[in-house]
Amino acid sequence: MEGPKTISKAPPQFDSQSWEALRTLGLEHIEALSKRIWTDYNTHDPGVTLLEVLCYAITDLGYRASFPIQDLLTTENTSVKDHFHSARQVLSCNPLTLADWRKLLIDIPGIKNAWLEATQMSFPKFYLNCPDSTLTYSALNKVGEKLDEVVPEGFYNCILEFDDPETVAGGTDAMGDLNSNTITYTFEVLLDPEATDLEQDQLPPLEGMKFELEVTFATWDLVNDKRPLRNYIRNISFDYSDEYKDYAIEVITKDSPLDFIVQVFNLSTLDRVIDQDLSDALRLHLQRHLGFAKHPDPLKEAENLDNNVLDRYRAKLALVRGLVQDAKIKLHRHRNLCEDFLRFSSLRVEEIGICADIDLKSDADPTLIQGEIYYRIEQFLSPRVYFHTLQEMYDDGYATEEIFLGPALRHGFIKDDELALADRRRV
């Protein structure tokens, strides 16, 4: 038969469980710290009341800490509680520095690099009226005096550099560079000899000739969502003249507010566009003498590029805007108090030329050297930020508290020194 349960009258074994011992020790510390300015340590003093509440809390904690470890870690159904947290849960934190924000954005699939730039723009503008101790939207007070504008801090503009389209769900190689607003389309001219009375050897040399068309649209952050491209572009088509002396790409628009640039390349000769006529519609000609006189109209063929080019651009536009939306969601989920993000934009593609005379050793491989030169130039102009595994960070001498410092990322760890080297290039 189990005996009755009683409360022991003996003093607690540990001072952490004795309210009297804790109160006495606390008063000793208070007297030592405040004896020159305070002498009343009776129960009615609010400070002593706070001390007594703290002592009770410590005794409860001391009592619980005396339990066997198996009782502390298990519940009534003998399952182990989640008392142990990983370094990722304990040491990581929300982004605080600009480097932290960059890491958070680069962790999004499809974003190669990112930057935040502080801005002092305020929407709308407001002013400080000191005599009335108020803020106002008016730049003048009641007597017509000019007020000082309040320029709040904590606003940032976000600049994104997109990765290859294959790194994003729904992206294809046909979209090209997501940072560029150019769509490239390659097509082949096919003629139907049965449509004319000409013999096969009398046909102009267009059969099977391949062309590359580049159409440069407005960038994604300049296109108005409320005005679809289809409302402005009637047709994009390929044609060649009656005398077969040139090929023409024509973009017919309806007073489009967007800017379009079209370039045509003959893939066989790489002849560039040399004639531009922008009077009526956007018409560019690739001059190429074929040596034929006029031929019947049935020989003229035209390929409608409207759907091919526009559909690719719209798909590319949707993919880019999806990445921008992902960046906005990520930033606003982690933003700090009194901080906000105003404008999102992407890097503009700048075409440059590099000329160099290079002397090679006699045993050097020109192909390998050329590839290495291209790679290093690309890494200098547009460096990639790499993710590292936990073991790689340990192997490079990083301590655990250094590795997990900053926001928790999904794809690994980014070294601060490598991130600093991947900053924007300025001239």
What pLDDT, on a 0 to 100 scale, did the predictor assign at position 112?
Answer: 94
The upper half-sphere exposure of residue 388, i.e. CA atoms within 13 Å in the direction of its Cβ, equals: 19
Percent of the chain past pLDDT 90, that is, above it, reads: 31
State yes or no: pLDDT of 246 exceeds 50. no
pLDDT value of residue 420? 93
Q: For position 207, what pLDDT does the model report? A: 53
Rounded to 5°, the CA angle 77-79-84 comes to 145
pLDDT attached to residue 209: 60
Q: Is the pLDDT of residue 306 over 50?
A: no
CB distance 247 to 287 below 8 Å = no
**pLDDT-based confidence at residue 415 (cuts at 50, 70, 90):** very high
Q: Give residue 393's pLDDT band: very low, low, confident or very high (50, 70, 90).
A: very high
What is the average pLDDT across 83-103? 90
14-23, 69-78, 84-93, 410-419 — most confident range: 410-419
For the chain, the structural domain boundaries read 15-82, 178-315
Residue 352 or residue 274, greater confidence: 352
pLDDT of res. 46: 85
Please report the pLDDT score of residue 178 as a whole number. 87
**Position 177 confidence tier, pLDDT thresholds 50, 70, 90:** confident
CA gap 118, 98 in Å, rounded: 10
Lowest mean pLDDT among 15-19, 193-197, 351-355, 423-427: 193-197
What is the CA 215 to chain-centroid distance, rounded? 26
Quick one: pLDDT at residue 175?
A: 81
Percent of the chain predicted with pLDDT > 70: 68
Within 13 A of 147's CA, how many CA atoms are on the CB side? 23
Amino acid at 231: N
Mean of the pLDDT values across residues 22-28?
92
Residue pair 160/346 in contact by the 8 Å Cβ criterion: yes
The model carries a pTM of 0.64
Of 18-27, 208-217, 349-358, 410-419, the range with the lowest mean pLDDT is: 208-217
265-301 pLDDT tens trace: 444 333 333 333 333 333 333 333 333 323 333 333 3
Helix (H/G/I), strand (E/B), else coil: 411? coil
pLDDT at 259 over 90: no
